[in-house]
Amino acid sequence: MENTLFSKVLVTGADGMAGNYIDFGIKTNRRSMDITDLREVLSVCRKYKPEAILHLAAETDVDRCERDPEYAYLVNGIGTYNMAIAAKELGAKLVYISTAGVFDGTKEGSYIEEDVPNPQNYYGHSKFLGELAVKGTLSNYLILRVCWMMGGGPTKDQKFVAKIINQIKNPNVTEIKAVTDQIGSPTFGKDLISAVKILIGKNETGIFHASNTGIVSRYDVAKFIVNTLRPEVKVTPVESSYFNLDAKRTKNEGLVLKKNIMRPWEEALKEYLETEWKPVFNKI
């Protein structure tokens, strides 16, 4: 029964970080379906007639979104609206992966699903626009908010974990810097896909937070990576202003989950490093 159910899931962005862990359904990418082209979206979806759509495709480069907000809105806003239109026509459930970046980061304590979004950069605005498109178009949907995505190993990961590893793989590097004034809840793509399968299998609807559990700083994550792969490297704490990035980063992206579907971030990161990075670390 489960195999039949998941064989009828159409996946966008299947060649991305989280898509790396998908072992089911109809996989599409930018070449096989341009989510910003409604005609193409409808044509592909009509061809496969999925019972659910897992919408992973997105522009997640926060600084690129800041430099080119029209592109961010096109991919994350209009692209998601197009997928919602297709899902509505087919009567399919839409699973949209959103972000903790829809919040303003000023809350004392972690964000719950019912907290009111208030994005602070173009990436957050564009992803929230996607949420509004889904909620305004469909009743059968899942919006899953994640934070600090990791996954895909050396070939797919271009986020924080990979950036730290790419620094410390250089034997001449003895010190790196990581910020202490940003906290969040790391999300392992493998665990996210497992959560998606659980929620689809139970026919859940609504908004769920789907990060790994626990609240941690960027510095803490960097220390964990260094201690696992190259403990002799020193990690120096700095404030976020040190890096002078294009997009404003919020101080707090910590999430708490109303569903017990994700393990602690330490367990997830340990597995990720041990299975996907350690075997190739010295060869990179």
Mind listing the pLDDT tens digit for each residue in 201-214?
Answer: 999 999 999 999 99
pLDDT at residue 43, as a whole number: 98
Nearest-CA neighbor of 111 among 207, 255, 209?
A: 255
| pLDDT over 70 percentage in the chain | 98
257 part of a folded domain? no
Query: If pLDDT is split at 50, 70 and 90, which confidence band does 261 have?
Result: very high
* Same domain, residue pair 236 and 134: no
pLDDT at residue 284, as a whole number: 59
Assess whether pLDDT exceeds 90 at residue 4: no
* Same domain, residue pair 171 and 139: no
Assess whether pLDDT exceeds 70 at residue 3: no
Nearest-CA neighbor of 209 among 156, 146, 278, 161?
A: 146
Residue 143 belongs to domain with CATH number: 3.40.50.720
Residue-averaged pLDDT of the chain: 96
Question: How many structural domains compose the chain?
Answer: 2
pLDDT at residue 281, as a whole number: 84
pLDDT at residue 245, as a whole number: 78
* Same domain, residue pair 141 and 157: no
* Same domain, residue pair 177 and 52: no
* Same domain, residue pair 80 and 8: yes
* Same domain, residue pair 198 and 268: no
Assess whether pLDDT exceeds 60 at residue 140: yes
Long-range contacts of 10-13 (CB under 8 A, 24+ apart): 10/44, 10/45, 10/48, 10/50, 10/52, 10/53, 10/54, 10/92, 11/53, 11/54, 11/56, 12/53, 12/54, 12/55, 12/56, 12/57, 12/83, 13/55, 13/56, 13/57, 13/58
* Same domain, residue pair 173 and 188: no
* Same domain, residue pair 222 and 240: yes
Instruction: With beta carbons less than 8 A apart as the criterion, state whether 179 and 240 touch.
Output: yes
* Same domain, residue pair 166 and 115: no
CA distance linking residue 96 with residue 248, whole number of Å: 24
* Same domain, residue pair 270 and 226: yes
CA distance linking residue 188 with residue 184, whole number of Å: 13
Assess whether pLDDT exceeds 80 at residue 90: yes
Assess whether pLDDT exceeds 80 at residue 125: yes
pLDDT at residue 1, as a whole number: 34
256 part of a folded domain? no
Looking at residue 232, the DSSP 8-state letter turns out to be T
Residue 171 belongs to domain with CATH number: 3.90.25.10
- One-letter amino acid at 138 equals L
44 part of a folded domain? yes
User: How does pLDDT run across 264-275, given as a tens digit for each residue?
Assistant: 999 999 999 999
Query: Residue 235 is part of which domain span?
Result: 153-182+216-251+264-281
Assess whether pLDDT exceeds 60 at residue 2: no
Instruction: With beta carbons less than 8 A apart as the criterion, state whether 123 and 164 touch.
Output: no
* Same domain, residue pair 133 and 45: yes
* Same domain, residue pair 205 and 192: yes
- One-letter amino acid at 168 equals I
